[in-house]
Amino acid sequence: MPLYDAPDDLTEMESINPATGEQIESYDEHTESDIDDALDRASETFEEWRETSFAHRQTLMENAADVLRENEEKYASLMTEEMGKPIEQARSEVEKCAWVCEYYAETAEEHLQDEVIGTQSDASAFVSYEPLGPVLAVMPWNFPFWQVFRFVAPNLCAGNVGLLKHASNVPGCALAIEEVLEEAGFPEGAFTTLLAGSDKMNDVIDDRRVKAVTLTGSEPAGRAVAKRAGENLKKTVLELGGSDPFVVLDDAHVAETAEKAAKGRLQNSGQSCIAAKRFIVHTDVYDEFVEQFVEEMDSWTVGDPSEEDTQVGPQAREDLLEDLHEQVEGTIDAGAECRLGGEPLDREGAFYPPTVLVDVPTDAPAATEETFGPAAAVFEVDSEEEALELANDTSFGLGASVWTSDLERGEQFARGFEAGCCFVNEVVKSDPRVPFGGIEDSGYGRELSEHGIREFVNRKTVWVQHGLGGDVE
């Protein structure tokens, strides 16, 4: 199970520093009346916002990119404090948010231009891409700015307005994002943060003022949101968890691949849906890879996420660390060998070390569940065919990568992955220019690129019949 969701049975949200366990701030939840007022504002703002020009939306989105960059240190530090992201990675996240704002400022009009369709000589037809209205976004804590901005940028540029229910352990980030858009000049109601637990979201989804829902989170949360939205016949996009395979073929450059493997597993302290989690290695390079992979994993610096040299910070909450450790222990009990790590660090904060498990049985927790933290499961296979079969032996289908010195072989192998985002000689990543999303238990729909901005629009067919009293040149 993807471990994204914070507890929701709260009347007050507390921001806790996972590196120290100390409270940063507390926030009162929004009441039902507050939420109703927010929905009214969103609905009213939409009627005006949908009529604004692409040029105006472009200007404001470019402003948002400027606000993000001007306040990079402030927002990066906030992420580091609230969910433990290493500070340098937090700065990179802010920059990526600015990038997606600029990308859609530049491309939204092109992505949403009318699409002319050839029909017959006495008629013309086109598809018009028009906004739907207020869209509810339910977002996780692990990339507290990026996950939101990859929703915000395309949808505001498309003429929709946004409502954010963020994870309950990052309320400061949620309010800061609202602040960014206000400073950029977006009108009140174009984007609103709802400080509320999941228990209040059913009523929001039911509300006729809300036209669609997107969620990034756990599989159970995705099923619940999809069911509720489906009962209301509302469009949904779900980006759920992953157990991404990292396949090392017999002709891979082992040293470079092991270095990339560590990055793929440990980025964001291992708390990423598209992190490499299952390392499937051909027997011809298995021993060499394991040795170098363990060395690379061990070389990453674990520590205070506010320190510049820290590469792995704490897990975002103590309960997440406990869940991860239970999976590691269960995998070892099932017969795996622990080559590195495997025990919570004896220090203040929710710190778990880089961990490498080898000889992992295919029915062990690390093989069948998503391990949402810095624990890697390594498998040995005898052939390319066995590697692909094991890679696809999962209920998830988000990302996958294959590593080889033969690019044609790698591309052909990647075509065999049953996943939404497949890479050759590169760690799985999200990029504004290409669509992002999964299949099966990893969800459906796409974010980013042209595909993402067209998810929450009305694809309106307009047919114009000629020759019935109108002149056509």
343 catalytic? Reply is: no
Distance CA 224, CA 4 (A): 15
Longest dimension (CA), the chain: 83
Q: What are phi and psi of 97, to 5 degrees?
A: -65, -40
Do the Cβ atoms of 32 and 200 come closer than 8 Å? yes
Distance CA 30, CA 422 (A): 40
Our measurement of the distance from residue 207's CA atom to the centroid of its chain's CA atoms, rounded to an integer in Å, reads: 26
Given the residues 82, 93, 219, 239, select the one marked as catalytic: 239
Cα distances (Å, whole numbers) of residue 103 to 61, 127, 146, 310: 9, 23, 14, 30
Do the Cβ atoms of 448 and 147 come closer than 8 Å? no
At residue 399, what is the residue type?
Answer: G
Do the Cβ atoms of 123 and 466 come closer than 8 Å? yes
The single residue listed with the structure tokens 């990034």 is: 216
Instruction: Tell me the β-bridge partners of 165.
Output: 138
3-class secondary-structure state, position 212: strand
273 catalytic? Reply is: yes
Q: What is the end-to-end Cα distance of the chain in Å, rounded?
A: 60
Given the residues 101, 173, 273, 421, select the one marked as catalytic: 273
What are the residues whose beta carbons fall under 8 Å from the beta carbon of 142, sequence distance 6 or more?
4, 83, 268, 271, 272, 273, 316
Residue 265 is inside which H or E element, if any?
A: helix 254-266
3-state secondary structure 374-398: CEEEEEEECCHHHHHHHHCCCCCCC
Closest CA to 374 of 420, 337, 320: 320
Distance CA 286, CA 293 (A): 10
Question: HSE on the CB side for 50, CA within 13 Å?
Answer: 15
**Catalytic residue numbers, as ranges:** 239, 273
